[in-house]
């Protein structure tokens, strides 16, 4: 009988262990990207991440993420104004390290079921605000979360959480209102300069002063819902770039009042109020100057000697 060495036995045991882990969707604590979607709770992973072919889509499974070594439990209000709960979360920074940017990718896009889209490009910002991907609340999956049915439908299977307890200024200063989206369905890796090129080329190539400040504010807030130059940005709002430019050009006072209390003007609107913008003349002026670049205030001058009508 042929003798089997102990090293071969150990190698076989290790192989079987690795296969078992692969079957469960986890490999030694590293999340597996699956080729097929098996549940509405699977999270789409696209763009320049390791293991995702160009133009392809992979999926992370909710249960596998919640059971992975990346997940941890924190005690925090699940939403602003709520009582603290036990939240099962993954730190977005740790998730990015697991997924691994490829090539020149340097920015994470979080896309939502309602067309909302927000970006995370600044590592310093991520360190300052510590965003988490919420997986469970009090040990419960999304369908059993302690909210109304409409709230649960809005939050979806995932939302990105910024702690109201640790970072209350995020909610009071309202300088980055687009960074805690609900109903996240996709994480995408892009190169910031390439993706947002329309914001920095053409009439926007040499912005300075208030218009440059307005662009920065738009990108960190308004672009989550409103598409901007080149139709880049969120698709939730029905008022895109040119409409916003037309509104602030035609009636800036109306837009200021609308920002303070949108539901007063449109009772069914889902837009968040921005009283901080309306109350800050310099910031409001900066935002309006940027928006007006997409809709020049001066209309084209007709020819001095128009051709006679036929």
- pLDDT tens-digit profile of 207-221? 999 999 999 999 999
Q: What would the pLDDT profile of 120-161 be if each residue is shown by its tens digit? A: 999 999 999 999 999 999 999 998 898 888 888 888 889 999
Per-residue pLDDT, 69: 95
C-alpha span between 147 and 121 (Å, rounded) = 31
Lowest-confidence region among 32-36, 161-165, 220-224, 236-240: 236-240
More confident residue, 37 or 22: 37
Q: What would the pLDDT profile of 244-294 be if each residue is shown by its tens digit? A: 889 999 999 999 999 999 888 888 888 888 888 888 999 999 999 999 987
Query: Is 15 a residue whose pLDDT tops 60?
Result: no
Residue 188's contacts (CB-CB under 8 Å, 6 or more residues apart) are 45, 46, 47, 108, 109, 111
Query: Is 173 a residue whose pLDDT tops 90?
Result: no
User: Percent of the chain having pLDDT more than 90?
Assistant: 59
User: Taking all residues of the chain, what is their mean pLDDT, rounded to a whole number?
Assistant: 85
Read off φ and ψ for residue 87, nearest 5 degrees: -105, 125
Per-residue pLDDT, 276: 85
Query: Is 4 a residue whose pLDDT tops 50?
Result: no
252 neighbors 288 (Cβ within 8 angstroms) = yes
Domains, the chain, with CATH or none: 28-195 (3.90.420.10), 197-296 (2.60.40.420)
Q: How confident is the model at residue 241 (pLDDT cuts 50, 70, 90)?
A: confident
In angstroms, the first-to-last Cα distance of the chain is: 105
Tokens linked to 106:
């340097």
* pLDDT, mean of residues 177-185: 89
Per-residue pLDDT, 88: 97
Per-residue pLDDT, 275: 86
Identify which of 186, 200, 207, 272 has the alpha carbon closest to the alpha carbon of residue 230: 200
Per-residue pLDDT, 176: 78
Residue 8's contacts (CB-CB under 8 Å, 6 or more residues apart) are none
Whole-prediction pTM value? Answer: 0.83
More confident residue, 60 or 26: 60
């Amino acid at each position: 009988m042929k003798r089997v060495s102990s090293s071969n036995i150990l190698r076989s045991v290790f192989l079987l262990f690795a296969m078992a882990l692969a079957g469960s969707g986890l490999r030694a604590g590293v999340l597996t990207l699956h080729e097929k979607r098996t549940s509405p709770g699977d999270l789409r992973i696209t763009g320049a991440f390791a293991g995702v072919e160009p133009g392809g889509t992979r999926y992370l499974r909710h249960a596998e993420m919640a059971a992975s070594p990346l997940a941890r439990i924190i005690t925090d209000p699940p939403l602003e104004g709520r009582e603290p709960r036990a939240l099962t979360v993954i730190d977005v920074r740790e998730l990015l390290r697991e997924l691994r940017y490829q090539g020149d990718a340097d920015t994470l896009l979080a896309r939502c079921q309602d067309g909302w889209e927000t970006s995370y490009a600044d590592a310093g910002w991520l360190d300052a605000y510590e965003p988490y991907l919420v997986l469970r609340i009090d040990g419960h999956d999304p369908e059993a979360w302690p909210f109304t049915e409409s709230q649960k439908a809005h939050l979806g299977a995932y939302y990105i959480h910024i702690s109201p307890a640790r970072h209350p200024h995020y909610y009071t200063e309202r300088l980055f209102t687009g960074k805690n989206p609900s109903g996240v369905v996709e994480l995408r890796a892009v190169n910031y300069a390439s993706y947002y090129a329309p914001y920095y080329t053409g009439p926007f190539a040499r912005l300075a002063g208030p218009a440059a400040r307005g662009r920065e504010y738009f990108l960190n807030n308004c672009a989550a819902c409103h598409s901007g130059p080149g139709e880049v940005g969120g698709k939730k709002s029905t008022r895109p770039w040119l409409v916003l430019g037309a509104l602030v050009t035609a009636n800036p006072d109306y837009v200021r009042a609308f920002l303070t209390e949108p539901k007063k003007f449109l009772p069914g609107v889902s837009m968040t109020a921005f009283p901080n913008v309306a109350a800050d003349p310099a910031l409001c002026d900066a935002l309006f100057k940027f928006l007006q670049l997409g809709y020049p205030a001066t209309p084209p001058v007709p020819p001095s000697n128009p051709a006679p009508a036929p």
